[in-house]
Structure 1
Amino acid sequence: MSQSQSRSQSPANWQPTHQDRQGLWIFTRVRDFIDNVANSSPARLALVIFASVIVLFTGLLSLPAASASGESTPLHQALFTAVSSVCVTGLTVVSTATYWSFFGQLVILLGIFVGGLGTLTLASLLALMVSKRLGVRGKLIAQEAMNHAGRLGEVGTLLRIVIVTSVVIEGALALSLIPRFLVLGEPFWEAVWHGIFYAISSFNNAGFTPHSDGVVPYETDLWILVPLMLGVFLGSLGFPVVMVLQQNGLNWKKWNLHTKLTIQVSLILLVAGALLWGLMEWDNVRTIANMNFGDKVIHSIFASVMTRSGGFSLVDQNQMEPTTKLLSDALMFAGGGSASTAGGIKVTTIAVMFLAIIAEARGDADVKVYGRTIPQGTMRVAISVIVAGATFVSVAAFLLLSISGASLDRVLFETISAFATVGLSTNLSGELPPSGVYVLALLMFAGRVGTVTLAAGLALRQRSQLYHYPEERPIIG
């Protein structure tokens, strides 16, 4: 027996060859490079990871096995669907139920799960890294697990907590939906598939549906609508808020400032949105005018919940009143909670700006709420997020107006829905040429990672200065 054969059969005496050492060296260098990027520029790492995941899912959706016809899907359609699923948006250019095969729908569902989970983890990590600068500590992770904010050593612990929380909530939603689909006459495995699909889609605020008619056939079925609304609402609160609720329940005094602002503003937007939506659509014969009082109330609440990021719809968005579309634009742009599966500029951003306006009107030097002072840096980040969001929407709307020639209200609705990763649609996405599809895909990507990474990047760039220039106030207003 040769010496090389002896080594191959004797693991205890094995020594790494030159090729083995070189392979380990390459792996180590790649790992060190990723660690350096994560430490120096987490925003850049986030962009790379999301882009890589989207490329992977685009390739999977382009396979002939992914379409019901067995043919390869055009690049712009595969890319748009991949971006929409990974960015948990819900906009489609082809029917999810009829165009894609079971394999294609499974890829979309995996994209939703990975995208939502990655967003939660990424946003939580970025919030951790900038918590001291932003002044928003919260109880993102139990204090005993946090030796030092911003260390990447907690990635494993954080990821484990996020996965467990997500799976538990999605499992509970699925278990509540599956029996109802069975009662409605669906075969067992089909009911299981639909229950799981809706559970993951709702909690991740994705808005994808495995039915060709969406959730319209269940427009009066509370056994279907209530779990969907509950899943979307919990997902839109954000992982930091869910953690605080798990630890402290409904004890208001033990909630941190982030949790108080998120829940308070979310409930205000939910109630105000339902009242205004119902008032505007009450006599609209194209939507809910012919329904009884109870069904009108259900539709109003459902629309208010879904407009802020859920994406499920019970009415044709094209048939709504112009004032309702404008209200929907505002609610979509507002979005949900920070570090959540929802999009938009986030409710805490709105809260901070509203509190700053009140402080300025009163002549207060500090922005204060619930016995806490909000740092100046947080307000600068909030302003930057709002301006950046408005800029993204304006540029994309200008491009789509030029490409499609559609009316402004439809273009603006579709643009804000894409940026805020909501998924409500006036069917403009399916009518656009490939160039318009790429614009919306880029906007969804920017809306999902743009504002979070911008906030983190701006916060990390804050640094102490040893000098200040003389102050001079320009005329405002």
Structure 2
Amino acid sequence: MLPNARLGPSSATFLEAIFTATSAVCVTGLAVVDTATYWTPFGQVVILVLIQVGGLGIMTFASVIGLAVVRKLSLRSRINAAAEVRSVGLEDVKGLVRGVVGISLIVEAVVGVMLTLRFFTGYGEPFGRAVWLGVFHAVSSFNNAGFALFSDNIMSYATDPWIGLPICGAVILGGLGFPVIVQLRKHLRSPLKWTMNTRIVVVGTITLLVLGSVFITAVEWNNPNTLGPMDWPSKILAGFFQSVQTRTAGFNSVDIGQMDSASLLGMDVLMIIGGGPAGTAGGIKITTFAVLFFILWTEVRGEVAVNVFGKRLSRAVHREAISIVLLAVAVVIAATASLMLMTDISMDELMFEAVSAFATVGLSTGITAGLPPAGQAILIFLMFIGRLGPITFASALALRDRRSTYEYPKERPIIG
């Protein structure tokens, strides 16, 4: 809200500032103002810092500061950092935190250099401006934020693979999750050493990327407002790019508001699934969706134990996955219904906006800025819950863990 953060004679309003700050630190990318023309370079730097902190995670970032200042981590810091990066033990949290930060900086640096060279040599941007564009979009893409420094997001570069593919690569890597990236770095050529989590995330990511690309490209192939005017290589690139962005990144190379309703519905599904756990992606996570799929597959086959890649799933994982999905569905439906009561906008657009906020994606049909203040407050709430996770939020509301010292007799209702 500082005057020098906004271009113009006055400061940003509280709602504009809190919406932008929440969207940045929750690495979502939804915006009520144009990032390129509303904020000064100082304001854009604030957004960039919030994206980086939000992508690394508050506890991970705090641990980095602790390591830099006192050269060691307290037990509480180790526990918090281990919980945030989904470490199973406290033996080498310090090394894991350093690994997370190192991976982030390396990927951002490589993508930043690629984008800088393209903006500088391909589009004649002054070198300083090219560096700023390269760094900002590299950080925004790896952290799955979706903030861009162009008024049309990435639409002007929809047919340029030298812009689109580096951004997609950073988004995919960020969406895998830090535990998966760390393991792939150590055992990339030894899949037998991969954990169940890594296998599910890798297989699920490839499957969803392929299915999403084929679906979006096929539905939008002849749409005159999206892929229609492009040649076929550009259509494939744009379809792939948009499929990648539904993994919770939020960049768009076509006008989302002009896409077919079927595309929006398919993207709703992809957004709610999201990416890998303990990374920069949102959604219910690929692992949660995979657990539900394997539970269904086991039930259909009439088996008792749920087996995945030669390992048996714990029943506690069943309950957690079902709880996360039901809470997510309840939150999105409640938010969509509330938005419908406030506006005359169609349900598919409002649901798309709600799912995008909850899954911390940032894709929009263009209605965010036109929502009433109460509607924008709902989106802020959704972004906050989506970044924390529905289970974490529900646990915080419950305040304490209640344990029963007795059990009721069993009885089975009729199902189906």
Match of 1:215 among 154, 158, 161: 154
Match of 1:450 among 389, 393, 396: 389
Q: Which residue of 2 aligns with 1:180?
A: 118
Kindly provide the amino acid, as one letter, of the partner of residue 176 in structure 1. M
Q: Which residue of 1 aligns with 2:100?
A: 162
1:280 paired to 2:219: yes
Q: Which residue of 1 aligns with 2:21?
A: 82
Post-superposition offset of 1:393: 0.6
- Contact 1:120 / 1:339 at 8 angstroms: preserved in 2? no
CA–CA distance in structure 2, aligned partners of residues 451 and 347 of structure 1: 15
Q: Which has the larger radius of gyration?
A: 1
Match of 1:439 among 368, 372, 378: 378
CA–CA distance in structure 2, aligned partners of residues 186 and 296 of structure 1: 26
Match of 1:307 among 238, 246, 249: 246
Instruction: Report which stretch shifted further, 181-190 or 245-254.
Output: 245-254
CA–CA distance in structure 1, aligned partners of residues 86 and 193 of structure 2: 14
CA 1:455–1:334 in 2, change beyond 3 Å: closer, same or farther? farther
Q: Which residue of 2 aligns with 1:71?
A: 10
- Contact 1:140 / 1:240 at 8 angstroms: preserved in 2? yes
CA 1:471–1:127 in 2, change beyond 3 Å: closer, same or farther? farther
1:356 paired to 2:295: yes
Residues 32-59 of structure 1: CA deviation (Å, up to 9, x unaligned): xxxxxxxxxxxxxxxxxxxxxxxxxxxx
Post-superposition offset of 1:161: 2.1
Counterpart of 1:428 in 2: which secondary structure? coil
Match of 1:98 among 16, 37, 53: 37
Q: Which residue of 1 aligns with 2:342?
A: 403
Post-superposition offset of 1:242: 0.4
Match of 2:199 among 257, 260, 268: 260
Aligned 1:39-438 pairs, distance under 5 A: 62-118=1-57, 121=60, 128=82, 149-151=88-90, 155-183=93-121, 184-438=123-377
- Contact 2:81 / 2:93 at 8 angstroms: preserved in 1? no
- Contact 1:140 / 1:244 at 8 angstroms: preserved in 2? no
Post-superposition offset of 1:186: 0.3
Post-superposition offset of 1:104: 0.3
- Contact 2:158 / 2:254 at 8 angstroms: preserved in 1? no
Kindly provide the amino acid, as one letter, of the partner of residue 174 in structure 1. G
- Contact 1:119 / 1:341 at 8 angstroms: preserved in 2? no
CA–CA distance in structure 1, aligned partners of residues 405 and 373 of structure 2: 52
Instruction: Report which stretch shifted further, 211-220 or 86-95.
Output: 211-220
- Contact 2:82 / 2:93 at 8 angstroms: preserved in 1? no
CA–CA distance in structure 1, aligned partners of residues 393 and 299 of structure 2: 25
CA 1:168–1:445 in 2, change beyond 3 Å: closer, same or farther? same
Post-superposition offset of 1:362: 1.3
- Contact 1:240 / 1:339 at 8 angstroms: preserved in 2? yes
Counterpart of 1:110 in 2: which secondary structure? helix
Post-superposition offset of 1:430: 0.6
Post-superposition offset of 1:453: 1.9
- Contact 2:59 / 2:80 at 8 angstroms: preserved in 1? no
Post-superposition offset of 1:163: 1.2
CA 1:257–1:461 in 2, change beyond 3 Å: closer, same or farther? farther
Post-superposition offset of 1:103: 0.3
CA–CA distance in structure 2, aligned partners of residues 412 and 370 of structure 1: 35
- Contact 1:119 / 1:339 at 8 angstroms: preserved in 2? no
Instruction: Report which stretch shifted further, 378-387 or 280-289.
Output: 280-289
Post-superposition offset of 1:119: 6.0
Counterpart of 1:309 in 2: which secondary structure? coil
CA 1:452–1:221 in 2, change beyond 3 Å: closer, same or farther? farther
CA 1:202–1:432 in 2, change beyond 3 Å: closer, same or farther? same
CA 1:101–1:370 in 2, change beyond 3 Å: closer, same or farther? same
CA–CA distance in structure 2, aligned partners of residues 275 and 462 of structure 1: 47
Instruction: Report which stretch shifted further, 466-475 or 412-421.
Output: 466-475
Post-superposition offset of 1:389: 0.6
Structure 2 length-normalised TM:
0.90
Kindly provide the amino acid, as one letter, of the partner of residue 170 in structure 1. E
Residues 406-426 of structure 1: CA deviation (Å, up to 9, x unaligned): 111110010100000101001
CA–CA distance in structure 2, aligned partners of residues 345 and 91 of structure 1: 19
Post-superposition offset of 1:234: 0.4
Structure 1 length-normalised TM:
0.79
Instruction: Report which stretch shifted further, 326-335 or 400-409.
Output: 400-409
- Contact 1:88 / 1:421 at 8 angstroms: preserved in 2? yes
- Over the residues paired in the alignment, what is the CA RMSD in angstroms? 2.3
Counterpart of 2:413 in 1: which secondary structure? coil
CA–CA distance in structure 1, aligned partners of residues 267 and 338 of structure 2: 21
Kindly provide the amino acid, as one letter, of the partner of residue 249 in structure 2. G
CA–CA distance in structure 1, aligned partners of residues 164 and 207 of structure 2: 21
Post-superposition offset of 1:400: 1.1
Give unpaired runs (5+ residues) of structure 2.
Answer: 62-77
Give unpaired runs (5+ residues) of structure 1.
Answer: 1-61, 131-138, 142-148
CA–CA distance in structure 2, aligned partners of residues 239 and 351 of structure 1: 19
Q: Percent identity?
A: 44
